[in-house]
Amino acid sequence: MRRMTPVPGPELLLAGPAQVLQLVATSIRTSLRGRRRTFVLGGHEVTAELDDLTVTSGLGLAVGQFDGVHVELKDLDWKGRRVSTLRLSGHNVHLRPGLTPTLVASPVTFDAVIAVADLATWVPDIVGRRIEVDIDADGVARVQLRDRPRLGSVEIDVRVEGRFLVLDPTTLVAGTRRFGGLRRLPPFRLPLMAPHGVHVTEVGVEPGGLRVGGHVTEWSEPLAVTEVQRFVRLLSPELDPVILPRGR
């Protein structure tokens, strides 16, 4: 017998769009926190474990204004590209009035960590087959040719330049020998394989992985109250995939 998660009763039918959004966020958090699920929104699929979901509000709730929406995901997979942890924060979150209200966040900022083992999923296949990237316990990044490991490796700094991830060579490492002065060499540029509309503004190397930050200038999605109500009533810990409600 399927175990249903307790959800609001009559108040769900009486609530306005803003209150309904809070109810659905609470229901998702209660039912799915700590569970790995495939989430579907507008035909786009992301598989991840939900770590947390919070919607904060104040006096502006009556007019559809929220203080913020925060989502934390772990072990994320999007079209074969993997992320260890992802934190999303929606700012200036509000409901735009209309026949079907529209949920708007402007901007949405994100902070992600990609484990070194998953870096290859974010570069073109032709590059991933030729070059291996490693980040050691001290947070030092190195690249080497997969088919020529005896040639040694090159320590690099990383930065973002427009739509490219730029690798700046700093030191050549061959066995126990180190050769500096490589900053005169041209940097290596990799196209950023980010979703449309996502702006990556900063990257940083940390032990065992790469931290990436950026934003979406504005995100909006129609929010049909009847669809949200139906979604909440069908929600259970066993639900998979989780098709998130949207306007028609």
Task: Give 22-79 pLDDT, tens digit per residue.
Answer: 777 888 888 899 999 999 876 789 999 999 998 887 666 666 778 788 999 999 999 9
Task: Give 172-225 pLDDT, tens digit per residue.
Answer: 888 878 888 776 778 888 888 888 889 999 999 999 899 999 999 999 988 777
Residue 210 amino acid letter: L
> Is the pLDDT confidence value at 4 over 60?
no
Query: Can you list the positions of beta strands (E) in the chain?
Result: 36-41, 44-57, 66-78, 81-90, 94-96, 102-105, 108-115, 131-135, 141-145, 153-161, 164-174, 177-179, 188-191, 198-206, 209-216, 219-222, 242-243
Closest to 90 measured CA to CA, from 65, 113, 114? 65
What is the pTM (predicted TM-score) of this model? 0.83
Q: What is the pLDDT of residue 143?
A: 87
Q: What is the pLDDT of residue 175?
A: 80
CA 138 to CA 208: how far, in whole Å? 8
**Helix H or strand E encompassing 129:** helix 125-130
